[in-house]
Amino acid sequence: MLADGTLFEGEAIGAEVPAGVTEGEAVFNTVLSGYQEVVTDPSYAGQVIVFTATHIGNYGVSSEDDESPRPACRGVVVRDLSEQPSNWRATDALEHFLVVHGVPGITGVDTRRLTRHLRDAGAMPCAFGTAGEQEVTEAARRAVPTDGRDLVSEVTTGAPVTRGTGPWRVVAYDFGIKETMVRRLAAFATVTVVPATTPAEQVLELEPHGVFLSNGPGDPAALPGPTAEVAALLEAGEVPVFGICLGHQLLATALGGTTFKLPFGHHGGNHPVKNLRTGRVEITSQNHNYAVVADSVPAADVTHVNLNDGVVEGLACRDVPAFSVQYHPEAAPGPHDARYLFDEFVRAMERSARGAA
């Protein structure tokens, strides 16, 4: 049941909900594969994921594809859940995976109709479950969107964690960081992943060559604390800063920019983005409900734009070594067109190191 009263029927899958109903903000994702990476992406905290691909679960799941230790989403909605996965890498079936991790779901739903409705009416709160229709309806009316909510505190790490043995030292703020991001950074650096509330002063005490701002869930306007710490890092101007997704939005906000909520967000693996510096078009993986207001960041140049709707997809600061993108260059799932951005981060650290010397 959507908050506007639109009803869909299906069969319960996944974990049982103690109260018989779960709620969250309904959003649709258009990826054709990579459902496990989507479900375990911390950016979906507080949301119910509607998969537009018809068959979900057909190649099972593997622990190698987890983007976090446990899913943060509130539930999944699919058209047809495969009961017999077939893939040499599979170690489990998707439904059992959902049960183990406490994620409820519903199958047999007309996801094409649901997606078209969300596309026209926008992402909105919803509820589903095995309780009576009246109970589910009331739950949908009570459900709240992600607007103004700090969801980062639900998914950030509780203590610093170090990964990798590369020659560069990188401190990564965990606003809901994906495992693939950590792997990409650990390929060239010793990465210290720190909680979202870590003061900028403590970050700089670790003497990093660069600071990474991760992806994460929810409304950037609800995160004044992390925004202030990003602003402090930029004011210090000691090390390069690279932001992705929520990190991009926080960087823009720290520079005085503003953000807004998209009607139904960008959730998929096939968004065309133009690099304004090279003229090349990249096919990108995206997962966000909020975006930076164009021309709201006077201290930075727009480097990338979305060719579907013109949304700002990249920024580069003029006065400090900081840049960011709205999309996911690490992919998982999605194309690898934008992985060069991690190389740009390395080059920025090299320039900074030469300047310090």
Task: Name residue 57's amino acid.
Answer: G
Cβ proximity of 152 and 175 under 8 Å: yes
Chain region(s) in the chain for CATH 3.50.30.20: 11-142
Say if pTM beats, i.e. exceeds, 0.75: yes
Helix (H) or strand (E) holding 200, with range, is: helix 200-205
Residue 355 has pLDDT above 80, yes or no: no
What CATH class has 11-142? alpha beta
Query: What is the residue type of 260?
Result: F
Tell me the CA distances in angstroms from 172 to 2, 146, 153, 346, one per residue in order: 37, 24, 16, 14
Q: Quote the radius of gyration of the chain (alpha carbons, Å).
A: 20
Sheet containing 47-51, strands listed edge to edge, beginning at the edge strand earlier in sequence = 11-14, 104-107, 75-77, 47-51, 21-29, 124-129
* pLDDT digits 0-9 by tens, 188-209: 999 999 999 999 999 999 999 9
Q: For residue 233, give both structure tokens.
A: 């890092």
What pLDDT score was predicted for residue 163? Answer: 96
pLDDT at 106: 98
Q: What would the mean pLDDT of 137-164 be, rounded to a whole number? A: 96
CA 296 to each of CA 202, 252, 275, 300, 305: distance values in angstroms, whole numbers, following the listed order: 29, 8, 19, 9, 15
Give me 293's structure tokens. Answer: 């207001």
Q: What is the pLDDT of residue 329?
A: 97
pLDDT of residue 53: 96
**Residue 317 designated active-site:** no
- What is the C-alpha to C-alpha distance for residues 270 and 267, in angstroms, rounded to an integer? 9
Cα gap 293→197, rounded to integer Å? 25
**What percent of the chain is modeled with pLDDT above 70?**
99
> Is 245 a catalytic site residue?
yes
Reduce the DSSP state of residue 182 to 3 states and report it.
helix
Sheet containing strand 189-195, edge to edge, reads 161-163, 189-195, 168-174, 210-213, 241-244, 322-325, 312-317, 300-306, 259-275, 281-292
Of 73, 126, 245, 317, which one is the catalytic site residue? 245
Pairing of strands 281-292, 259-275: antiparallel
Instruction: Look over the chain and give the mean of its residue pLDDT values, rounded to a whole number.
Output: 96
Residue 236: the pLDDT is 94
pLDDT, residue 357, reads 59
Q: Choose the weakest-confidence range: 274-288, 327-341, 343-357.
A: 343-357
Residue with more model confidence, 280 or 19:
280
pLDDT of residue 354: 84
Contacts of 140 (CB under 8 A, 6+ apart): 1, 2, 3, 5, 23, 125, 126, 127
The answer to whether residue 344 scores a pLDDT higher than 80 is yes
Tell which residue, 217, 220, 244, 234, has the closest CA to residue 325: 244
CATH 3.40.50.880 domain extents, the chain? 152-356
Give me the residue label for tokens 């999309």: 327
Region 332-354: mean pLDDT is 95
Largest CA distance in the chain: 68
User: Chain centroid to CA 112: how far?
Assistant: 23
Q: Are 303 and 270 in contact (CB under 8 A)?
A: no
Render pLDDT for 2-31 as a digit per residue (tens, 0 to 9).
Answer: 999 999 999 999 999 888 999 999 999 999
The reported pLDDT for the residue numbered 190 is 98
Q: What is the tens place of the pLDDT at every residue in 59-87?
A: 999 999 999 999 999 999 999 999 899 99
What is the CATH number assigned to the segment(s) 152-356? 3.40.50.880
